[in-house]
Amino acid sequence: MLQSDTIAAIATYPSNSGIGIIRISGPDAISCCEQIFRSKVPLHEMSTHTISYGFIFDGEEKIDEVLVSLMRSPRSYTMEDVVEIQCHGGIFILQRILSLLFSKGVRPAEAGEFTKRAFLNGRIDLTQAESVMDLISSENEKSRKNSMSQLSGVLSKKLGDLRGKILHEVAYIESALDDPEHISLDGYSEKLSSLLEELSLELDSYIRSADDGMLLKSGIRTVIVGKPNVGKSSLLNMLSEKDRAIVTDIPGTTRDILEEKVRIGDITLHILDTAGIRETTDVVEQIGVSKAEASVEDADLILYVVDSSIPLDDNDVRIQSTLKDHSSHTIILLNKSDLNSVVSEEELRDLGVQVISVSMKDGSGVDDLKQAITTMFFHGDISSNDDLLITNERHKFLLQQAKKSLSLVQDSIALGMTEDFFAGDLMDAYESLGSIIGEAVEDDLVNEIFSKFCMGK
Ligand SMILES: Nc1nc2c(ncn2[C@@H]2O[C@H](COP(=O)(O)OP(=O)(O)OP(=O)(O)O)[C@@H](O)[C@H]2O)c(=O)[nH]1
Ligand SMILES: [Mg+2]
């Protein structure tokens, strides 16, 4: 256990609510709390994982009626002594009790510091620590499941297996170089090469999953574009199931960009509704049109809305040229399918983009749109894909580094280099994967070599 001081923070959302929790962790957690908490059984006599009823006092003044729970080291979140005070959930009360603790020598915790201690004290690894925040901020079932499995150590386990295999090879090479009489390297390169191919494929599947994983975690940046009056704001209202945007039959109703977060099953969309794009002399509208056109650039998904009851015109030509380089992530919505149609799906299909016929008036086609989005981003049914998804940029980067190192070994093998050249790159891969879980490496290598190969006997 690392030596540390005692920290405290409000653990619940700081707004007036029924109950609020203050969490205290560190070697003086019990003694400091005891100075402000009175109950039948003194805090230091309480058994671990029990709750006691009592009062918080400032000198002789009763401050609040509370429940205090105790988790003794090492069986706590941080592995230190942890005390949690459940008090009434008013911001003022919480702050008042926190200040009392500070006056007894406790220090304010930094953001994430409890989890950091859990990591530094070795209860969880880095991926598990990171998944705590992901779990808290998850907005849908898939995201929650993924964070929970990462917290349970699924990713750590997979990385551990990969690292074990790499380390085994390094140890084998080192041993063979040390003891060539007993350990042969004949035909070893071929064997190593096929193993590396296998490992690279596995790394690849994790790296590829990061695109889905990160979209799942942060949501799909979606922009709705089209001419004025085609039904863009109606689409936003339909998807968000509320009257978010003003809808009128006057072209040019929406002038600025409107943002709304929408959930479709397991997917979150961050939708921008934009001003209708057209030639205009109105200065304010022009700014809106420029913003609409610019918003296309950062979007993960573009919904181009067309009014099927009026012919396409120059403004559509202009919009289509803006979307030219984005066809892979654009869906055309042929709206107002409840009216007589003068625009055919065929003429829009020439753009090489999926076209879906919809009506914001009667809701037809909306389910097709939702399915098309799921297919576009998650290759079909997101909920049936229970594989682990990488949801973290840092993990993705380190996985790519590991893969690069393995391909350097493959290059060395192809060039017919001797085995001592392999070990360095293999260790780089091992270290990159280790950095994901936050592990140091040297000790592991030493242990592996000695335990598996009994060098020196
Ligand atoms: N019949 C029919 N009318 C629709 C449909 N969708 C939208 N409308 C109507 O079309 C008009 C324009 O709708 P909006 O959603 O404001 O269109 P917009 O594209 O946001 O327009 P701007 O903000 O001006 O760019 C409104 O009168 C809507 O009621 C539809 O599917 N069928
Ligand atoms: Mg609008």
- The residue whose CA has the least distance to atom 12 of ligand 1 is 229
Rounded alpha-carbon distances, angstroms, from residue 158 to 163, 164, 168, 221, 437: 9, 10, 16, 31, 11
pLDDT, residue 454, reads 29
State the DSSP H helix or E strand holding residue 221, giving kind and residue range, or none if neither: strand 220-226
Give yes or no: residues 228 and 345 share one domain.
Answer: yes
How far is ligand 2, taken at its centre, from the CA of residue 328, in Å? 25
270 and 219 in contact (C-beta within 8 Å)?
yes
Q: Please indicate, yes or no, whether residues 108 and 244 belong to a single structural domain of this protein.
A: no
User: Do residues 343 and 334 touch, judged by C-beta distance below 8 A?
Assistant: yes
- Within a domain: residue 383? no
Question: Does the CB atom of residue 234 touch ligand 1 within 6 A?
Answer: yes
3-state secondary structure of 359: coil
Q: Is residue 457 part of a domain?
A: no
- Alpha carbon of 246 to ligand 2 centroid (Å): 7
Best residue among 225, 229, 254, 361 to mutate for probing ligand 1, ranked by most atoms within 8 Å of CB: 229
Residues linked to residue 356 through DSSP beta bridges, in sequence order: 333
Atom 1 of ligand 1, residue of closest alpha carbon = 336
Q: How far is CA 8 from CA 13, 52, 57, 121, 377, in A?
A: 15, 19, 17, 17, 42
- The chain-wide mean pLDDT, for the chain, equals 89
Residue 384 included in any domain: no
The structural domain count of the chain equals 3
What pLDDT digit, counting tens, does each position of 57-110 carry?
A: 999 999 999 999 999 999 999 999 999 999 999 999 999 999 999 999 999 988
Q: Are residues 228 and 371 in the same domain?
A: yes
Ligand nearest to the CA of 229: 1
Shared-domain flag, residues 171 and 255: no
| pLDDT tens-digit map of 390-438 | 888 889 999 999 999 999 999 999 999 988 889 999 999 999 999 888 8
Ligand 1 pocket, residue 288 CB under 6 Å = no
Kindly give the distance from the C-alpha atom of residue 303 to the centroid of ligand 2, in angstroms, as a whole number.
Answer: 13
Give all strands (DSSP E) within 159-210, no chain letters: none
Among 124, 149, 180, give the residue marking a domain's end: 124
Confirm or reject: Cβ of 230 under 6 Å from ligand 1: yes
**DSSP letter, residue 392:** -
- Are 196 and 409 spatial neighbours (Cβ–Cβ below 8 Å)? yes
Closest ligand by atom to 237 CA: 1
Mean pLDDT within 262-273 = 89
Q: Specify if 385 maps to a domain.
A: no
Considering the domain architecture, whether residues 279 and 205 belong to the same structural domain is answered as: no
Structure tokens belonging to residue 433:
């994967």
Tokens standing for residue 245: 């945007």
Structure tokens at 318: 């202009």
Provide the pLDDT for residue 385: 46
What is the CATH classification number for the domain harbouring 116? Answer: 3.30.1360.120
80, 10, 70: which is closest to 44 by C-alpha? 70
pLDDT reading at 134 higher than 90: no
Give the Å distance between the CA of 218 and the centre of ligand 2.
25
Sign of CA dihedral 110, 115, 117, 120: negative
Residue ranges of the alpha helices (H) in 14-90?
Answer: 29-34
Residues 6+ apart with CB under 8 A from 107: 5, 6, 7, 8
Whichever domain contains 249, its CATH number is 3.40.50.300
Atom of ligand 1 nearest to the CA of 273: 20
Domain that holds residue 206: 129-214+390-451
